[in-house]
A and B are shown apart, each in its own frame.
Chain A
Amino acid sequence: MKIKIIIPTDKIQAPIIAESMVETKVLLNIMVANIDSTYGELIADVEDSQFNKIKKALEARGAVVFVLDQPITRDEEECVECGACISVCPMKVYSFDEDWSLCVDEKKCIQCGMCIKMCPHGALKLGE
């Protein structure tokens, strides 16, 4: 499953991700990491069965963890199937089938929101 890990300002100097992985031996596949001196936000893939373990370890060190279980939704009425979303998605959620119909593979979505800004028809939404 895909999870989001938020590292608050007061924990940003500590290697809490590495510590949690070493302690639990759960491997996080980090897909997106935005970290600077004040704030950190990571998106990672983890085995479903291992989630509770790593969540506990991360939270014990001050991180905020939640499951990304609300992928992008597409309003099929608004969508004109131009495919503008295809090239901005870092996870290749969007593709064309052989009829040039737009296919959406929600499972890959990491809720980054890039496609929402790209869509000229306001057809894509998060959190619904």
Chain B
Amino acid sequence: MVEKSIQEINKKIEDGSVNVVTAEEMVGIVGELGAEGAAKEVDVVTTGTFGAMCSSGLMLNLGHSEPPIKIQKIWFNDVEAYSGVAAVDAYLGAAQNSDIRGIQYGGAHVIEDLLRGKEINVHATSYGTDCYPRKVLDTSITLEDLNEAFLLNPRNAYQKYAAATNSSKRILHTYMGELLPQFGNVTYSGAGVLSPLSNDPEYQTIGMGTRIFMGGAQGYVIGNGTQHSPNSGFGTLMLRGNLKDMSSDYIRAASFTGYGATLYMGIGIPIPILNEKLAASTAVRDEDLVTEILDYGAGSRDKPMIREANYAELRSGSVEIQGREVPTSSMSSFKNARKIANELKEWVKQGDFFVSAPVERLARENTVKPMKQTQAVPLVKDVMSEFIVTIKKNQTVQDVAKKIWENSFNHVAVISDSGELVGLVTAWDVSKAVAENRFDSVESIMTKKVLSCAPNEPVDLAARRLDRYGVSAMPVVDTQMHVLGIITSDNISKLLARRY
């Protein structure tokens, strides 16, 4: 049995005899010496991660103006921050996009610009009070001008993260990057073998008060993060660190096409090896860390799982999906994660960084609940017209004209002999055929690439699709492509009319 205390380890850091290795190096050491041997040998294991962490932001204090203002609304380079806290405090979220420049520039970019010493334009408004008479403020500031500038990140350093792919027929622009159609690629995030929480999955040493590497400076864990879900292996951390001490090597703004701004955070956490259990857990390898590959094609909260995959597979460059090798992309930087683990290792070795015992441990039992929604989300089947006119594809243009006329229905679904949807014909298609003097089969004038939707899809998704493709109606089909009804822009207008 090996038992070491934080104090013993810190004494070794002080006198320079501490043995520090990275979590990557620890794999081989435990393999060679076993957990007990490694626990005797190694005092601290350093971890690192560098990736997109949208749930980050800057808590800042501007100091008081003359005459003073109680800021109600505030913008930094046209990116709005929250200022409903006292007079001149504000919280700038990394994922807030610019009012002017849109998703190309956001809170994350303001944070990086501040860090690089750039001037930031500030615009603020208020209603004016006896103690804070000013109503409008315009100024420009740099990081130095702020009294405090703390990164206060509600959810960072996910233990691991689900990978993403796309079964649909179009490119999806997501916070996991560009997902190519029909399982064209897989994107993933996380440092695997170097991931901080994956190296201490019982949260024995990482907890409230743990001193960490944060953006190139010393920062702290202030508790578990939001959506902390240890039961499923998706723990998260809430962090705080002083932006003024950080480096732009480890804090980088980014923007995902079609999604928006986010912040790449560099985080490293030292794990004091107090016993052999910790030695064993810090020997975790990429192949031990299993995550899920989820299908973002559905556009729903519950994304179907395509398969499981471990980080070794994801990092190999391709994974197999439905018998095909699909290329993978990492959205986080392993090279920088490794750089952070090594830099933290040097800090500890040089006696510049001491390990700490948590004031309180992180929750080890917790699952994430979905949002409570009091208003039912209307589904396609709730608003669709169940009455639908169909026609066989080998019938004539005249047959279709007759059906449209008799039913005063603008859209006619074309079906095969076995009843599957194969096309759509509108009054417009018929007019065109008549104008061109073409009276062949329905098949020759119908739209063959028909958009369709499922009865259990939320109306919002169907509406988004109608809008994107500029069409006025979509047949509703079951999984066998049998037509159940049709949803038109009329159905959606009626729904809105009922709602307001």
Q: Which residues of A contact B (CB under 8 A)?
A: 80-88, 95-96, 99-102, 114, 117-118, 120-122
User: Smallest CB–CB gap between A76 and chain B, Å?
Assistant: 13
Interface of B is mostly: strand
B240-279 vs A, Cβ < 8 Å mask (1 yes, 0 no): 0000000000001011110000101000000000000000
User: Smallest CB–CB gap between B257 and chain A, Å?
Assistant: 4
Task: Choose from A80, A82, A117, A121 the contact partner of B178 (Cβ within 8 Å).
Answer: A117
Given contacts A80-B50, A120-B255, contact A88 B180 (CB under 8 A): yes
User: Smallest CB–CB gap between B315 and chain A, Å?
Assistant: 9
Q: Which A residues touch B327, using CB under 8 A?
A: 86-87
Q: How far is the CA of A83 from the CA of B333 in the complex (A)?
A: 7
Q: List 21 A-B contacts (CB under 8 A).
A: A80-B333, A82-B330, A82-B331, A83-B329, A83-B330, A83-B333, A83-B334, A84-B330, A85-B329, A86-B317, A86-B327, A87-B329, A88-B177, A88-B180, A88-B329, A99-B335, A100-B334, A118-B329, A120-B254, A120-B256, A121-B254
Q: Answer yes or no: B452 CB below 8 A from chain A CBs.
A: no
Given contacts A87-B327, A87-B328, contact A120 B335 (CB under 8 A): no
For the complex of A and B, 9 pairs with smallest distance between CB atoms: A87-B329, A120-B254, A87-B185, A87-B327, A100-B335, A82-B333, A117-B257, A100-B334, A83-B330
Q: Which A residues touch B178, using CB under 8 A?
A: 88, 114, 117-118
Closest residue on chain B to residue A121 by CB atoms: B254
**Interface contact B52-A120, CB-CB below 8 Å:** yes
**Interface contact A120-B317, CB-CB below 8 Å:** no
Most interface-central of B173, B335, B336, B338 (chain A CB within 10 A): B335
Q: Which residues of B contact A (CB under 8 A)?
A: 50-52, 173, 177-178, 180, 184-187, 252, 254-257, 262, 264, 317, 326-336, 338
Q: Which A residues touch B335, using CB under 8 A?
A: 81, 99-102
User: Smallest CB–CB gap between A54 and chain B, Å?
Assistant: 31
Task: Choose from B173, B187, B252, B336 the contact partner of A84 (Cβ within 8 Å).
Answer: B187
Q: How far is the CA of A88 from the CA of B176 in the complex (A)?
A: 12
Given contacts A80-B252, A80-B264, contact A120 B180 (CB under 8 A): no
